[in-house]
Amino acid sequence: MLVSAVEGHRLWAPVYDTNPNPVLALESRIVGTLLGPIPGRRFVDVACGTGRWTAYLQQRGGLAFGADCCAEMLNEARSKAGLPGTLVLADAASLPFRSGAADVCICSFAAGYLPELNRVFAELARVTKKGGTVLVSDLHPEGIAKGWTRSFRIEDTTYELRHFGPNVDSLLAAGRHANLTLQRQIDARFGLPEQNLFHQSGKDVSFAELSAIPAVWIGIWANL
């Protein structure tokens, strides 16, 4: 069943954190090494969902705030220790944070749902201080080209979320439009740490095939 991104995440929220997800695990493994020092730094987690990154950063001594346009996802996030009072219902293209509020601005697995990338990247740049970092991750366009879907299953129903791509060129173009300076881009593939999650899901056969395809794209920009 095809649903909008907001409706899909509303339905997905209660079980989002409960099912093994090798794509999220891969992204967490890679991005965790890219954030630099966390204690005492300020982070804004845009499209924070159930607060995966917001909680991670708070637990390690960062001052982290999250924003998402899905109230149900935020309700799940508020159940995590340290997150009540740090979350706000807001659109990624119109963030309620002051300019230069963050040392690091993260937008994880949301770009594909956002039709106005230029506006979103402009907001990411605005809330990031000069000299700060913008980090964006998403399902890799090459995986989507191979037939991967943004979908989830509840009982007997599979929900596919409506999305807008994007391709890598459009992400890089949005970064340039926001006057961000690209420092690095990563095409991340599944590795041995994710293989156990495939095993838990009874998809051992899929691991060899899917690990040959980039699963997550990560871009890192400096706001100079």
Instruction: Flag whether 155 is in a domain.
Output: no
pLDDT for residue 165 = 80
- Contacts of residue 172, defined as CB under 8 A and 6 or more positions apart, other chains included, come to 182, 185, 219
Helix axes 192-200, 22-31, angle to 10 degrees: 160
pLDDT in tens, 131-164: 999 999 999 999 999 999 999 999 999 999 999 8
Instruction: Flag whether 163 is in a domain.
Output: no
**CATH code at position 190:** 3.40.50.150
Residue 108: name the closest of 159, 180, 57 by CA: 57
pLDDT in tens, 161-214: 999 888 999 999 999 999 999 999 999 999 999 999 998 888 888 898 999 999
Q: Is the dihedral of CA 39, 40, 41, 45 positive or negative?
A: positive
Give the number of other Cβ atoms within 10 Å of residue 201's Cβ: 14
pLDDT in tens, 82-120: 999 999 999 999 999 999 999 999 999 999 999 999 999
- Contacts of residue 4, defined as CB under 8 A and 6 or more positions apart, other chains included, come to 161, 162
pLDDT for residue 205 = 84
Instruction: Give the residue numbers spanning the domain of 81.
Output: 22-148+168-223
